[in-house]
Structure 1
Amino acid sequence: MKSISYIRISAFSVFFLLILLGISSMAVARQPEACDVRLTAGDPVEGAEFGRSVAIDGNHVAVGAGNANAGSTSGAGAVYLFHRQGQRYIREAKLVAPDATSGAEFGRAVAIQGNLVAVGSRFAEAGGLEKAGAVYLFRKHMGSWRYEAKVSSPNPADEDNFGRALALQGNVLVVTSRKEESGADDVGAAYVFLHRGNQWVFSEKLTAGDPVPKAYFGQSVALRGNLLAIGARNADPEGAGAVYLFQRTGEGWKEFAKVIPPDGAKDDNFGFTVAMLGNTMAVGARRADPGGTEDAGAAYVFAVNGHTVDHVATLTASDGQKKDQFGQSVSMAGDVIAVGANRTDIGKNAGKKADQGAIYLFRRAGNSWKQIGKLTACDGLAGDEFGYSLSAFGNKLVTGAHFADSTAGAAYVLTLKP
């Protein structure tokens, strides 16, 4: 039987009314709280981490729970699919791997496009190896979601993390393998697959032009048109991190730029997350130290025009604190950039709500970006990590709080007001 998601009336619209009236400063004691729609698994279990990954496209929302049970297989992982009906989101399917194994982390990454869903399972069995990783594809047909294919690395190795991050567009699927040892430990790689006929066919392997050990090339990925961005959170210089840009030429991809932060420092994690919309790219650096505040985090905005990449803005939280991890997640919708800070402490007695999490919203204003809001969950508790994952489509923003409800997890669908 289908289950209806839990819905609450939100203060979100009130918050944006205040913005329209000119009250745009977020340095106030009381923050707006968001509960437009709250999603949970129909079969929650402690430790499932529902909300570890999220994706939205049109009226469909996909939420990954990397440690959920798959039938009698405990901790194998699952993805829950919801469909919008009016103001409600109806749970319509629970996807699991047909060859589910405990600890596979099916749902650690998820991408959705129309009636097609790709699910990363970075510790799945592949090529006879117990934890090589794989990606599973499901397609909606006549109202039902059906398993379509399983893809894996053409050169699998245990714990390469194949399936750590995904991008899906048209007939193109990009899968990262951030711990692949291409000549050195944890250099990382990405694989391009094409849908031809009824099959997903391996097309190309991508690596950084200047690979270094422990770079984790493939930490994140974003695909827009003929532009592909791949994050390497520990790439040089000095392990600050980088994003590599590739352009499609025919059916192949060619690296044309390595993007680094203008003020990068060791272990900033620049490239931990990346998002693109039009010619704008946003990159999260969750362990950056803006103003000397340790691991407060930052996000960087770049304009990509042809092969020219220009730094446009550096975004930070107006009330950023030590170890907030602003930049854990990033997503874009129109002229708004959303940045998750999953370890933000909330309230006057912040220690009681440590790591509750928050989302910061920035709007383009000419050639700059201005903070227009800070969102927290209306029912948030310490340790929820609201803002851990983000995905935007149109005026809808989905975020995961993977440790909510005693680590069973929750997700929220928010409506962005114009």
Structure 2
Amino acid sequence: MPADMPTNPQSVRRSASARARWRATLLLAAGGLLAGAAAGRLPKPAPPPLSLAEPLKLLAAGAGSGDQLGWAVAIDGEVLVAGAPGAAVAGPNAGAAYVFERAGDAYQQVQKLVASDGDASDVFGEALGVSGDVIVLGAPIDEPVATGSAYVFERGDDGRWREVQKLVPESSDDNDRVGWSAAIDGDTLVLGAFYDDDGGTFAGSAHVYRRDPDAAEPWRQVAELVAEDASLEAAAGWSVAISGGTVVVGAPKVAGNAGVAHVFERDHGGPGAWGQVATLAGDDTDSADAFGTAVAISGGVILIGAPSDEGNGFASGAAYVFERDPMSGLWAQSQKLVAGDNPSPGFGIGVAIAGSRLLVGTKGELSAGIAYLFGRRAEDGGWQEIARLSPADVEAGDHFAKAVALGGGKAVIGSQLDDDAAADGGAAYVYDLGVAADLAVSADASSAAAVVGAPLRYTVTVENLGPGDASQIALAIDLGVIAEVGVDAITPAAGTYAGGIWRLDALPPGHSASLTADLTPRLDAQPTRGGIVLAAALRALVEHDPEPANDVATLTTDVISRIAGMWKDGAVGGTPQGRRDGAGGASGAGAGGNAGDRLMAPAVPIPTLGGPAIVALAVLLAAAAVARLRR
């Protein structure tokens, strides 16, 4: 590994304030927020394998020889997009993309998209992404001299998709290959430029754009992402992925093609800034593994492909799962995935995540090709293979499963050299993964603030928003570093609780279930900075969960300490407001009131005990002295 690479491949840079922050923590998480927390003490049965029907096969109307439909695929809701970079539109390999929309149980081709200024060899459609009514399409060999570009299409009120803007980064130069990779989430998109020289010769970069709907050109570049630990010929930007305010940039050529992936977050380093927070590599990554060839992210889970890993045989490939600790924000490897049977090399050349599902593709060059579907284990939150996807008509050499996507309860798999429509015309397959069950997790507290020595109750609720049934749901209750907080009882209103796991066999649409945790804070009365943090997150169920954003809720409750020896009674006269950090939130009021003419101890929120709090305390002491003089 070169000297400019971190000695720990999973090194993570965080702000000093984040590292130093101390909390007495209550961690309630579905299926185990801390990966492996239950390992070694709980069984790890695989979920039942999914029995899936043969997929729908999508062919492009008017496909030509060598179009290679399915080179790239993406899906969001009812919209599916497949790239055909070999389409001879304005010349050989000018490229095109096809939009399919779901109509009942079928998909219909609704439009063929081409670049307004497309030319031969642009390979428009080699990379793409879709989010809502926006599609982004890369054209990495667009002139001059393969600078590359990307095109944004938006769907109008009439349902038609129209090109609204061509994106060429301000710093782009010859051979940057902008648009080699592309991803979009809401109003933010990212483009990879793996040959960019801004961080060194062929170090690579990624470009972030944000949408301003009121601007004449709505998409504006806001950042160029160059790794702090960039190395020459790293090819950063070979792959990119985005989820919310987090971007992952694959750099598969670092350290003799061992590869790494860089993680950037919005507002890290200042409002609106995009700062690097991690450089990730597998714990056993070796030269030529090509870790980072493909990347995907959904919420707190990152999946990274290493298609040349040899741990399961020559060039068999692997995929690595990284998960973010909800308290520290640090990313750590939780699992390495390999193909159980290894019939097709290149496992990890394509990866996708959606909620509780992972999809990993293979090369499908010398064999028929297989895509592997993984689901969460209910007992410990780990990942287990649950299905192997390979249509009956796929043949060796079709390149089936090089490109994969997940969304809306569907798995989309490209087969770019399929011959049904034309020689190497390509195809895309759509698997129905079953009716989705959108589970939402929320958290609440019995009081806006916790009082030392007084009981506090947290309630975690899981609701099935439909449309499908949910089954074999598991929530792990993991008590973090909370030596100063006594746990009196953890009680489920439904299901069973044992060994740190709350299990629910089934939850129909429109129904909810709850669990309570009764605690007694035992922090001493010294002005110690602290509080109780509740983090609740769904991690495992059999069905597909299409909305991972509502699977997580966090709640912060301040701890109030009495000032000993200052008053003759310890009753509490008021509390500060609780803080909602996520879907859950504090509610209710703290204990309060005085009795007769007795002076009562004020409530002091420990997290804010400082300059203003000391001034307030001095005022209270003065008021107490005046009251005594008047007696």
TM-score (norm 1): 0.86
Identity %: 31
Q: Is the CA contact 1:189–1:205 (under 8 Å) kept in the aligned structure 2?
A: yes
Question: Residue 96 in 1 paired to residue 96 in 2?
Answer: no
Of 356, 372, 388, the residue aligned with 2:402 is 388
Residue 11 (structure 1) aligns with: none
CA distance in 1, matches of 2:391, 2:55: 10
Residue 131 (structure 2) aligns with: 113
Residue 132 (structure 1) aligns with: 147
Residue 201 (structure 2) aligns with: 185
Compared with structure 1, are the counterparts of its residues 183 and 308 closer, same or farther at alpha carbon in structure 2 (3 Å cutoff)? Answer: closer
Q: Is the CA contact 2:401–2:413 (under 8 Å) kept in the aligned structure 1?
A: yes
CA distances 1:124-152 after superposition (whole Å, capped 9, x unpaired): 12xxx242100001111122111100011
Question: Residue 256 in 1 paired to residue 288 in 2?
Answer: no
Matches within 5 A, 1:255-294: 255-291=276-312, 293-294=313-314
1:167 partner amino acid: A
CA distance in 2, matches of 1:35, 1:152: 41
Question: Residue 308 in 1 paired to residue 327 in 2?
Answer: no
Q: Is the CA contact 1:216–1:235 (under 8 Å) kept in the aligned structure 2?
A: yes
Other structure's SS at 1:68 match: coil
**Alpha-carbon distance, 1:34 to partner:** 6.2
How many residues of Structure 1 are paired with residues of Structure 2 in the alignment? 377
Other structure's SS at 1:143 match: coil
Higher strand share: 1
With 405-414 and 151-160 compared, the bigger mean Cα shift is at 151-160
Residue 150 (structure 1) aligns with: 166
1:319 partner amino acid: D
Of 297, 319, 324, the residue aligned with 1:299 is 319
1:67 partner amino acid: G
2:317 partner amino acid: G
Larger Rg: 2
Residue 372 (structure 1) aligns with: 386
Q: Is the CA contact 1:334–1:394 (under 8 Å) kept in the aligned structure 2?
A: no
Q: Any stretches of 5+ residues in structure 1 without a counterpart?
A: 1-19, 27-31, 345-353
Residue 60 (structure 1) aligns with: 79
Compared with structure 1, are the counterparts of its residues 146 and 296 closer, same or farther at alpha carbon in structure 2 (3 Å cutoff)? Answer: same
CA RMSD, Structure 1 to Structure 2 (Å) = 2.0
Compared with structure 1, are the counterparts of its residues 22 and 277 closer, same or farther at alpha carbon in structure 2 (3 Å cutoff)? Answer: closer
Q: Any stretches of 5+ residues in structure 2 without a counterpart?
A: 1-44, 435-542, 544-631
CA distance in 2, matches of 1:34, 1:232: 37
CA distance in 1, matches of 2:59, 2:412: 13
Q: Is the CA contact 1:34–1:378 (under 8 Å) kept in the aligned structure 2?
A: no
Compared with structure 1, are the counterparts of its residues 22 and 110 closer, same or farther at alpha carbon in structure 2 (3 Å cutoff)? Answer: closer
CA distance in 1, matches of 2:92, 2:53: 32
**Alpha-carbon distance, 1:283 to partner:** 0.7
TM-score (norm 2): 0.58
Matches within 5 A, 1:29-108: 35-70=54-89, 72-108=90-126
Deviating 4+ runs (over 4 angstroms): 20-24
CA distance in 2, matches of 1:156, 1:34: 46
CA distance in 1, matches of 2:91, 2:110: 21
1:328 partner amino acid: I
CA distance in 2, matches of 1:359, 1:288: 17
CA distance in 2, matches of 1:185, 1:356: 38
Question: Residue 362 in 1 paired to residue 380 in 2?
Answer: no
Residue 7 (structure 1) aligns with: none
Other structure's SS at 1:392 match: strand
Other structure's SS at 2:147 match: coil
CA distance in 2, matches of 1:269, 1:134: 25
CA distance in 2, matches of 1:108, 1:122: 8
